[in-house]
Amino acid sequence: MNIFLEHYGKNQLTPKQILKNPMLFLAFGFGSGLVKKAPGTCGTLAAIPVYLLLAQTSFMVYSLLTVIVTLVGIKICDDAANLLGEHDFNGIVWDEIAGYLITLWFVPFSWQAVLLGFVLFRFFDILKPFPIKWIDQHVQGGFGIMLDDVLAGIFAGGVLLLCKMTGIIS
């Protein structure tokens, strides 16, 4: 049983082609988006070590790098969609990485926050409450690919911050 597809996107790229191309390697979350089932969840899992690395920095450095990851993600996702020949192919998970970093942006590190942030981000990314779903359906290109996950991260981060402020998590 193979956990990977043989080809990706309308342009039928192979996993080897994706892993060898630096832009696609990043867009596919260091390869995590190559899985057949739940690539967005795997992309969010790939964001955890990135978060753990950034969480060791100051708030200013974390903020700057999160903004860079998000803004550069517009180009990464746009180029990946063009190379794949398909808008917002589900294996493009750089947006999940940015969204997860946004989720945890204003919450002090704790393992509870890491776990609950993961669950909340996946919840908002999958369910796509208004206006996330509308944006997902109407905003095109790399900006559109990134924007729905940025909003899911903001929603999840808001709930996570409320959980912290009310003592639900430490």
Q: Give tens-digit pLDDT for 116-131.
A: 999 999 999 999 999 9
The residue type of 159 is V
Model's pTM, two decimal places? 0.96
Token pair of 150 as six digits: 């940025």
pLDDT score, position 81? 97
Q: Are 29 and 93 in contact (CB under 8 A)?
A: yes
Average model confidence (pLDDT) across the chain = 96
Helix ranges restricted to H, 29-140: 39-54, 59-84, 94-103, 111-127, 132-138
pLDDT score, position 79? 98
pLDDT score, position 170? 84
In the DSSP assignment, the letter for residue 8 is B
Q: Which of 170, 36, 55 is nearest to 103 (CA)?
A: 55
- The model's confidence at residue 61, banded by pLDDT at 50, 70 and 90, is very high
Whether residue 1 is predicted with pLDDT greater than 90 in this model: the reply is no
What pLDDT digit, counting tens, does each position of 91-144 carry?
Answer: 999 999 999 999 999 999 999 999 999 999 999 999 999 999 999 999 999 999
Whether residue 32 is predicted with pLDDT greater than 90 in this model: the reply is yes
What pLDDT digit, counting tens, does each position of 141-169 carry?
Answer: 999 999 999 999 999 999 999 999 999 99
Token pair of 121 as six digits: 């981000």
